[in-house]
Chains A and B, each alone.
Chain A
């Protein structure tokens, strides 16, 4: 989805996000900025229809307005020459590694992307990632497209083959956690961009707190990127399920309506 928002487009950097509300009665939800075009004053967001807000977002037509959008929030990815970089994107996380892949490649890195989804239909941005990377490996859980298997399998093979300077992963929490487990024995620096629940997104509410290296951090202002090896994954998994029941309830109600 392309959104006209010139101020944000002018400042957005890879790794940053916006917080938006689709409707006045809506929730504030964070979404990563996939692409920003300062000349056209637009940004691109990609969301998977999961909860009510993403469903509402999907129902917005060209020319409609969102109730609000604020950003760019969070620290941008540190873009520099690392050397050999592997980017791992799972599901809608592929959208989030795309701007990072572009920026890192432009900074002279050798970028390998590993992208995966449950099945062929859910794979996004394959063409874009191929363009933005030196090399791109496609995986699917069910084998309906690309290689059959998880992104971590391809990651492990690459790490065994040659020295890598940075791994950057975005996807569902279990995937990011698995990436962390895979990279740890290799001692390779691994960054993840966390998708904690947020309200304001500016450090005011503390909803998005995560434990990293034993310290409490706020994803919105201290992140969203953290050292994967230091993240308390179980806590994040738990905290992201705080409203699962409410979410089911409201989705059922709206589906009926």
Chain B
């Protein structure tokens, strides 16, 4: 049995920072087999409990070692709808890999020695997609003629749509943008999630008979009541997070201070990096500062450094975070990739003010230095500003990636839909049903920002509750 983990193949750090092609190349069959052979097949596997949707990790790795790839695919698909996507974007080091027996309890995230479960999942997911291994539809005759509306085509919406369509239910997805995928398209850059992977998942939903209506904002063009009036028996809301948060500091509305959502959307959705072939512009700075410590901040910084390379600007992109690297909520892999690609990190920084030139464009950022104090409610040590520690850096483009608030377009016009103090939709945790009968919800609109796999877990739960609901009706 092999002891040392197999290092995943990645593209060369210099060449990959000049394009938007995928960075991680994945395991070959031999590598996957060797990595899988490291799994101890624990009697009491902890990894499964570490997975938000409870994939039978032990079983699928066991099948993989026996080269039963189809079987492994079927095992994963029992719990996860998009293994090719989750195998690429799941923060495995906080989930299954952290629970792996190779990770010591005291470690903040998975040990390097932990089985590379996510890369194995990706290998199996890609195998399934290549072979067209669709999960069989058990189209139940009693569902014939039933229609369910899914609002939003992000991870939650896509997952719920697939679950219901496989039961023979007619599903219509309503998407506000001109393309499907939600945050998987406008948020996650193609170098992390190639568009052909996303497109093929969406195509397979269409093959299941799922209808997608783009450019249709529920809450604007149709209300919940009108959807019921059109013959939908149940509705799933995968509205996603909405309004980007800002720092609330002076100068934040100067030109070239972007929210991460805007910066990423311009590139990922609108192809601003191809300007002028693509008509959507984006500005490129000489000294780019990205503020935040999550995956979105890493994505924004890695997009920024690519834009600098493409424009022939000497790369200078810095991520500023108020805590230290250990507390960063981003995936460890993204932090490593960002560093390899030349992104600089400045920790314990609290931005205080942006200052601009006479035309209103940002030129500098003034910040305070922090130190770590006592742990806060999140369990992470709180950043405390050191008095008189002000310093200024050149900054002609800033990207603020400090989180998102709720998407209120639908909830603000639907008073019967109960929301919490954050504006998120309140659901029954067992069924994901909202305060409106027959309306279910999942993803970021429930409980705030989470991961793709968490959204999918909620959507699956909602889908099964919707089936129950339809059966009882």
Point out residues on A near B: beta carbons under 8 Å: 7-8, 10-11, 21, 23, 25-28, 52-53, 67-73, 199-200, 202-207, 209-211, 216, 218, 221, 232, 234-235, 237-239, 241-243, 246-247, 249-250, 253-254
Point out residues on B near A: beta carbons under 8 Å: 176-178, 186, 214-217, 220-222, 242-244, 246, 248, 252-256, 258-259, 261-262, 265-266, 270-271, 274-281, 283, 359-361, 407-409
Contacts of B261 in A (CB 8 A): 204-206
Contacts of A254 in B (CB 8 A): 276
A199 touches B262 (CB 8 A): yes
A242 touches B255 (CB 8 A): yes
Select A206's contact among B186, B262, B270, B407, beta carbons within 8 Å. B262
Select B243's contact among A71, A218, A234, beta carbons within 8 Å. A218
Contacts of A70 in B (CB 8 A): 176-178, 215-217
In the complex, 7 of the A-B residue pairs with CB atoms within 8 angstroms, ordered by the A residue number, are A68-B215, A69-B215, A203-B242, A206-B244, A221-B243, A221-B409, A239-B360
Q: How far is the CA of A247 from the CA of B295 in the complex (A)?
A: 31
B280 touches A11 (CB 8 A): no
Contacts of A27 in B (CB 8 A): 270, 279-281
Q: How far is the CA of A239 from the CA of B283 in the complex (A)?
A: 13
Q: How far is the CA of A23 from the CA of B214 in the complex (A)?
A: 15
Contacts of B217 in A (CB 8 A): 70-71, 73, 202
Once A202-B176, A241-B359, A249-B276 are accepted as A-B contacts, the answer to whether A72 and B220 lie under 8 Å apart by CB is yes
Contacts of B221 in A (CB 8 A): 7-8, 10-11, 71-72
How near does chain A come to B232, taking the closest CB pair, in angstroms?
15
Select B255's contact among A10, A11, A238, A249, beta carbons within 8 Å. A238
Contacts of A52 in B (CB 8 A): 279
Apart from A71-B220, A202-B242, what are 20 other A-B pairs with CB-CB below 8 Å? A7-B221, A7-B222, A8-B221, A27-B279, A68-B215, A70-B217, A71-B217, A200-B176, A200-B177, A203-B242, A204-B244, A216-B248, A218-B243, A235-B360, A238-B255, A239-B253, A242-B255, A246-B276, A250-B275, A250-B276
Contacts of A247 in B (CB 8 A): 281
How near does chain A come to B272, taking the closest CB pair, in angstroms?
9
Contacts of B177 in A (CB 8 A): 70, 200
6 closest cross-chain pairs (CB), A and B: A238-B360, A246-B281, A205-B262, A68-B178, A206-B259, A70-B215
Residue of B178, B186, B407 most packed against chain A (CB within 10 A): B178
How near does chain A come to B28, taking the closest CB pair, in angstroms?
36
B277 touches A25 (CB 8 A): yes
B360 touches A26 (CB 8 A): no
Q: How far is the CA of A249 from the CA of B283 in the complex (A)?
A: 13
Select B408's contact among A10, A206, A221, beta carbons within 8 Å. A221
B270 touches A243 (CB 8 A): no
A250 touches B279 (CB 8 A): yes
Contacts of B270 in A (CB 8 A): 27-28, 199
Contacts of A210 in B (CB 8 A): 253
Q: How far is the CA of A21 from the CA of B244 in the complex (A)?
A: 23
Tally inter-chain residue pairs, CB-CB below 8 A: 129
Select B265's contact among A73, A200, A238, beta carbons within 8 Å. A200
Contacts of A250 in B (CB 8 A): 275-276, 279, 281
A204 touches B275 (CB 8 A): no
B256 touches A242 (CB 8 A): yes
Contacts of A202 in B (CB 8 A): 176, 217, 242, 407, 409
- Where chain B touches its partner, the secondary structure class is loop
Contacts of A211 in B (CB 8 A): 253
A203 touches B243 (CB 8 A): yes
Q: How far is the CA of A138 from the CA of B186 in the complex (A)?
A: 45
Contacts of B407 in A (CB 8 A): 202-204
Contacts of B275 in A (CB 8 A): 246, 250
Once A11-B220, A68-B178, A250-B275 are accepted as A-B contacts, the answer to whether A216 and B255 lie under 8 Å apart by CB is no
Q: How far is the CA of A67 from the CA of B244 in the complex (A)?
A: 27
Q: How far is the CA of A117 from the CA of B258 in the complex (A)?
A: 34
Residue of A21, A237, A247 most packed against chain B (CB within 10 A): A21
B252 touches A242 (CB 8 A): no
A7 touches B281 (CB 8 A): no
Residue of B255, B259, B265, B279 most packed against chain A (CB within 10 A): B279
A243 touches B262 (CB 8 A): no
How near does chain B come to A221, taking the closest CB pair, in angstroms?
7
Q: How far is the CA of A1 from the CA of B365 in the complex (A)?
A: 45
B279 touches A26 (CB 8 A): yes
Contacts of A203 in B (CB 8 A): 242-243, 407-409
How near does chain A come to B124, taking the closest CB pair, in angstroms?
33
A207 touches B178 (CB 8 A): no
Contacts of A53 in B (CB 8 A): 279
B279 touches A235 (CB 8 A): no
A204 touches B242 (CB 8 A): yes
Contacts of B361 in A (CB 8 A): 238
B280 touches A28 (CB 8 A): yes
Chain A residue at smallest Cβ distance from B280: A27
Contacts of B243 in A (CB 8 A): 203-204, 206, 218, 221
How near does chain B come to A4, taking the closest CB pair, in angstroms?
14
How near does chain A come to B81, taking the closest CB pair, in angstroms?
24
How near does chain B come to A115, taking the closest CB pair, in angstroms?
29
Q: How far is the CA of A216 from the CA of B278 in the complex (A)?
A: 30
How near does chain A come to B436, taking the closest CB pair, in angstroms?
20
Select A68's contact among B214, B253, B265, beta carbons within 8 Å. B214
Contacts of B278 in A (CB 8 A): 25
How near does chain B come to A234, taking the closest CB pair, in angstroms?
7
Once A52-B279, A211-B253 are accepted as A-B contacts, the answer to whether A206 and B246 lie under 8 Å apart by CB is yes
Q: How far is the CA of A73 from the CA of B359 in the complex (A)?
A: 30
B265 touches A205 (CB 8 A): yes
How near does chain A come to B424, taking the closest CB pair, in angstroms?
15
Contacts of A235 in B (CB 8 A): 253, 360
Chain B residue at smallest Cβ distance from A209: B253
Q: How far is the CA of A23 from the CA of B178 in the complex (A)?
A: 11
Contacts of A200 in B (CB 8 A): 176-177, 186, 265
Residue of A11, A53, A202 most packed against chain B (CB within 10 A): A202
